[in-house]
Chains A and B, each alone.
Chain A
Amino acid sequence: MPLTMANPHKELHITAIHSSQDMRMRLCNMGITAGIPVRVISRSPSSLLVGVRDTRIMLDFKTAHQIHVQ
C-alpha cells in the first residue's frame, strides 16, 4: 500500500518507489531506497514525517503516496 495509507508507528518495509528518476535519486540521496524499513512518525493532509535509517524525513503528500510499503 502507499506510505500515505500506513498506520503511524508501525515498522514497515519499502517495496517500491513509483516516482520519476529525478525524485527517486533525491530520495536515495536522503537514504530512502527500496527494501529498507520505514515508519510513519506523523502525518498531515499535506505532508508526512517518516523515520528511515536513523533519521527523520519530511515528505510532501504526493511523493509519499508514490512510496509503497508493506
Chain B
Amino acid sequence: MDNKRITIALAGNPNSGKTTIFNNLTGSRQHVGNYPGVTVEKKEGFRCFKDQELLIVDLPGTYSLTAYSPEEVVARNFVVQDNPDVVVDIIDASNLERNLYLATQLLELEIPMVLALNMADVAESWGIKINDELLAQKLGVSVVRTVGSRNQGMEELLEIAVTKKARSGSCNINYGVDIEGALEKLEPLLAVAHQELKFPKRWLALKLLENDKDIIEHVKKISGGEATVRTAAEARAALQKKLGEDPEMLIADLRYRFIGVLCREIVIAKNTDAVTISDKIDKVLTNRALGLPLFLGMMWLVFNLVFTLGAFPQGWLEKGVELLGSWFGQNLAEGDLKSLIVDGVIGGVGGVIVFLPNILLLFFAIALLEGTGYMARAAFIMDRVMHKVGLHGKSFIPLLLGFGCSVPAIMGARTLENPRDRLVTILVTPLMSCSARLPVYTVLISAFFGEHIAGNVLFSIYLLGIVLAIVMARIFRSVFFTGSTEPFVMELPPYRIPTLRSIVTHMWERSVLYVQKAGTIILAISIIVWFLTNYPSEVQYSKDYEGLVAQSKTAFTVQVDEEIAQPLKITNIEEHLAFQAVVTKISKVEEDFKAKSENLQEGSPELDALKSEKEISLRKIQTVESALYGPASRYTELKGKLDDNKDKLDKEQTGEKLAQSYAGRAGKVIEPIIAPVGFDWKMGVGLFAAFAAKEVLVSTLGTIYSVGAADENSIPLKEALALDPAFNPLVAYSLMVFVLIYSPCLPTIAVIKRETNSWKWAIFSSVYSTMLAWVIAFIVYQGGKLMGFGG
C-alpha cells in the first residue's frame, strides 16, 4: 500500500446532500479557498482512513457540465485535469432522472467513478425502490447506498476509494446516426487537443458540436485547432438543417431519453401519491393569500421564542458573570489590574457572553428553517414583494441569511448572476438585523420595556430592518442600477424532516464562531475601551469628593453619638454586639423588602402585601428587643442616609472622571451630532467602538457603567442603564434603530470589498447606512418626543 495521498472529488447537484457527505467525511478538517482566477469557492478537507491520507475536494454543485457557469467549468476541469483518484457523484435518489443527467456527463469524461445513491431513506419512504445492482451494471461503476444525514454509507465510499476499485464506467449513449457520424469525423482531428486538454476525444467532439464556448476557445489555441473548430461549425450547421433543431438541444434530449429508459429499468416501484405530500404542503404555505401572512407569522414566532426561551439561561449566565466579577473584585488588590479584569474584561466580554443562549436559539431557528426546506419557499413567497422593487425572490435568501450574520449572507449573493442584482442585494443585506445586534436589543429592551411587550418591540425592530431593506433596494434599483428584471430559474428542495444532528451541527458551528469572536475582537476592544475610559487617571474634580465623603461620615458619627450612644450610655456603639445584632436584623428586613419590591408598581396589591409583611416582621423584632428597637431603627435610618450619600458622591465622581477620560472627550466631541437623535456621549463612544463588531456596543457600555462599581457587587448592565437619567424608553428605541441601520461592522465591510472587488462600494455602504441611520433615528426620537413618549 503506497502512502501517496488519495484524492476524492465529490460532485453532484445542488441540494443532493453533497455538503452533508463532505462534512461527514472530513469533520472539522476543512479548508475553504478560491479556484485561481474565478470567484468559485474551493472546498477541501482531509481524512485518514485505514492508514491512508485522503484529500477530499467538494466540487461546486452543478446541474450539468456545460460552459454556462464558472462552477460547471471549474468542476469539469478539475475532474479531468487535476486527476482525482476517484470522483464520487452524489445522486439524490428521490430525484433520479435529473441527477442522472449530470452522472451521464461525468461518465462521458471517462474517469474513475462511484455513484453515491444518497437520501436512500427519503426515496424508500416515498415507496421508490431502486435496483442499484442493475444500475451499477448498466453504467459500469459501483453504486453505494448512502444516507448522508445519518452518516451511513461513508465507510463503503472510502473503502472503494482506498482500494482503488473505482472504474471509469461508460454510458454508451447512441446519439443517432447523424450525430454519431459527425462525431466520427471530428474525433481524429482532436488527437492533439486530447493530449493538451486531457479531455476524451469523443467528449471534445461532442462539445464542439454543442458549441461549447470554453472548449472552442481552448481548441482554437492549439495548432490546427482553428481548422477543427471550423469543421465542427460546418457539421453543426448541417445537423441543424437536417434535423431542424440545435445539436446542443438534440444531444440533451437524447441524454434524457437514455436516462428515461434506464430509470424504467432500475426503478422497481414508485408511489406517486407520496411525492405530492410536498406539493400539498406547498399548496398552503405558498398560497397566494396565505403565504405572506404565514411567513410573517413564522418570523414573529421565532423572535418571541428567542427572547422568552433565551431569558432563562441568560439569567443563569448573568449570575455566573456577576459571581466571577465579585470573586475577582474581592480577591485582587485595588488598582489598575483589578479594574482592568473586573471592569474591562469581565464587564466587557461577560456582557456579550450572556447572550449566547439567545444567539443559539436564533441559529437553531435558522437551521431548522433551512433544514426543512422552508427557507427556499421564502424566496417564492417574497418574490412578489421583491419584484415590486426590481429584484426577485432569489435575492431574498441572502437577505434571510443576514439575520444570522451579514458575512455569509453577502457571500451567498454570489448565486445572483446579474451583477446589478447582486450589488443591490449586497448593499441592503446589512439592514437585515444580524445576530450581533441581538445583545444590544436584548439589553435595551429588558432595561426599558415591560415583559409583555418585549417580544413585540424586538419584532418591530426586525420588521423595520426588512422594510428599510426593501425600500432602499427599490431606491437603488431605480436610481443607480436601472434595467429590466432578469429571468431566473431556481430549484426548491422537497420538504424534509431534518435530523437533530444536522441542526445541532449548524448551530454549533455558528456558536463556536460567536464565542471565538467574543474571545478575540470583543476582548481586544473591551481592553481598549477600558483604557480609554480610565485614562487619564489624574482628574481635576469640580468638588472635593474625598473631603465631602469624610465630612458626611463625621456628621454621621456625631449624630449617632448625640441621638443614640449617649442616651443609651454606650461608649463604642460600633462594637456593641447586642445593639449591632438588632441593627442587623432590621437591615435584613429592609433589604429583603427592597429586593422583592424592585419591579413592583406603586399601589399594586403585591406591593401593599409586601409592605404589610415588612411591618409585621419589624413589629416582631420590636417586641423581642423593646429597649433597643427604637434607637436601632434610627441608627439604620442614619446609616442608610450615609450610604446613599456616599453612593451619590461616588457616582458623581466617577461620572466626572469618565467625562474627562479619552473616551469621554471623544464622545463629547460627537455629542452635538448625536444629541438630536437622543444620545449622549456614552452612547457615542459605544457606537464608535461597535464599528468593529456590533456586540461591542454592549461590552463597551458594560465597561463604562461598571467603572463605578469596581468596589461593590457589579449589577447587571440592564439595571445600570435603567438607572441612568440620560436613558429612557424612547432613547433606547432610538438607539436600537440607529444600531440596526448604521454602518456594517468591519468584517462585513471587508467582505463587501471582496465580493464587489472595489473599496468604493464598501465605503459607500458604510456612509449611506450611517446617514440613513441618523435620519431615521432623528424621526423616531423627535417624533416620539412630540407624541409625548420621552421619559
Task: Tell me the A residues contacting B by CB distance below 8 Å.
Answer: 9, 21-33, 39, 41-47, 49, 51, 53-60, 62-63
Assess the B249–A24 pair: CB atoms within 8 A: yes
B474 to chain A, nearest CB (A): 15
Cβ of A46 to closest chain B Cβ, rounded Å: 4
Which of B68, B94, B386 meets A54, CB within 8 Å?
A: B94
Residues of A within 8 A of B494 (CB): 55-56
Known: A54-B96, A57-B492. A31 touches B387 (CB 8 A): no
- B383-394 vs A: 1/0 string, CB under 8 Å? 110110000110
Is the beta-carbon distance between B393 and A42 smaller than 8 angstroms? no
Offer 8 A-B interface pairs, CB within 8 angstroms, sorted by A. A24-B249, A25-B249, A26-B68, A30-B489, A32-B489, A54-B94, A58-B380, A58-B489
Chain A residues, CB < 8 A from B282 = 41-42, 49, 56
Within 8 A of A (CB), among B245-297: 246, 248-249, 252-253, 256, 275, 278-279, 282-283, 286-288, 291
Beta-carbon contacts under 8 Å, B678-728 to A: none
Leading 10 A-B pairs by shortest Cβ distance = A46-B387, A29-B64, A31-B98, A42-B286, A29-B63, A63-B487, A58-B490, A47-B383, A54-B95, A56-B492
Kindly list chain A residues whose C-beta atoms are within 8 Å of the C-beta of B756.
none
Any A CB within 8 A of the CB of B491: yes
Known: A25-B66, A26-B68. A49 touches B249 (CB 8 A): no
A46 and B392 within 8 A (CB): yes
Write out, one digit per residue, whether chain B residues 179-203 have a CB within 8 A of any chain A CB (1) or not (0): 0000000000000000000000000
B249 and A53 contact, CB distance less than 8 A: no
Q: Is B97 positioned at the interface, with any CB of A under 8 Å from its CB?
A: yes
For the complex, would chain A's binding face be called helix, strand, loop or mixed by DSSP majority? mixed
Decide: A42 and B491 in contact? CB cutoff 8 A: no
Q: A45 contacts B384, CB within 8 Å?
A: yes
Is B480 located at the chain interface by the 8 A CB criterion?
no
Chain B residues with Cβ under 8 A from A29's Cβ? 63-64, 66, 68, 101
Per the bound structure, the CA–CA distance linking A32 and B275 in Å amounts to 18
Q: B97, A31: Cβ atoms under 8 Å?
A: yes
CA distance in complex: A57, B95 (Å)? 12
Given contacts A33-B256, A42-B286, A42-B380, contact A26 B489 (CB under 8 A): yes
Q: How many B residues touch A, CB cutoff 8 Å? A: 42
Q: How distant is A48 from chain B, measured CB to nearest CB, in Å?
A: 9
Chain B residues with CB under 8 Å of A51's CB are 279
A39 to B287, CA, bound (A): 16
Given contacts A29-B101, A54-B96, contact A44 B489 (CB under 8 A): no
On whether the beta carbons of A42 and B283 are closer than 8 Å, the reply is: yes
Partner-A contacts on B (CB < 8 A): 63-64, 66, 68, 94-98, 101, 246, 248-249, 252-253, 256, 275, 278-279, 282-283, 286-288, 291, 379-380, 383-384, 386-387, 392-393, 485-492, 494
Residues on B with C-beta less than 8 A from A25 are: 66, 68, 248-249, 252
B249 touches A22 (CB 8 A): no
Q: Is the CB of A55 within 8 A of B288?
A: no
Most B-side CB within 10 Å, residue of A27, A41, A53, A56: A56
Q: Which of B68, B98, B101, B392 contacts A47 (CB 8 A)?
A: B392
User: How far, in whole Å, are A42 and B289 apart by their CA atoms in the complex?
Assistant: 11
Given known contacts A41-B279, A41-B286, A28 and B252 CB-to-CB distance under 8 angstroms: yes
| Chain A residues closer than 8 Å to B488, beta-carbon distance | 58-60, 63
C-alpha spacing A3/B489, complex, angstroms: 15
Closest residue of A by beta carbon distance from B492: A56
- B-chain residues with CB within 8 Å of residue A31 when the two chains form the complex: 97-98, 101
B278 neighbours in A (Cβ, 8 Å) = 56
Contact partner of B379 among A24, A45, A53, A58, CB < 8 A? A58
Q: Which residues of A contact B283 (CB under 8 A)?
A: 9, 41-42
Does the CB pair A55–B489 fall under 8 Å? no
- B residues in contact with A9, CB < 8 Å: 279, 283
Closest Cβ of chain A to B711, distance in Å, is 62
Looking at the complex, which one of A22, A30, A42, A62 makes contact with B288 (CB distance below 8 Å)?
Answer: A42
Contacts of B490 on A, CB cut-off 8 Å?
57-58
In addition to A25-B68, A44-B383, A58-B393, 15 A-B residue pairs with Cβ atoms within 8 Å of each other are A21-B249, A25-B252, A27-B489, A30-B98, A33-B253, A39-B279, A42-B286, A42-B380, A46-B387, A55-B491, A55-B492, A56-B282, A57-B489, A58-B489, A59-B489
What is the CA–CA distance of A43 and B287 in the complex, to the nearest angstrom? 8
Q: A25-B68, A58-B393 are in contact. Are A45 and B387 (CB under 8 A)?
A: yes
With both beta carbons as reference points, the residue of chain B lying nearest to A55 in the complex is identified as B95
The answer to whether A53 and B95 have CB atoms under 8 Å apart is: yes
- Chain B residue contacts of A22, Cβ below 8 A: 68
Q: How far is it, in angstroms, between the C-alpha of A45 and the C-alpha of B288 when the chains are bound?
A: 9
Min CB–CB distance B268 → chain A (angstroms): 16
Given contacts A30-B489, A63-B489, is CB(A55)–CB(B392) below 8 Å?
Answer: no
What are the residues of chain A within 8 A of B252 when measuring CB–CB? 25, 28, 33
State how many angstroms separate the Cβ of A17 from the closest Cβ of chain B. Answer: 9
B286 touches A30 (CB 8 A): no
Give CA–CA (A11, B64) in the complex, Å: 27
Q: How far is the CA of A22 from the CA of B417 in the complex (A)?
A: 14
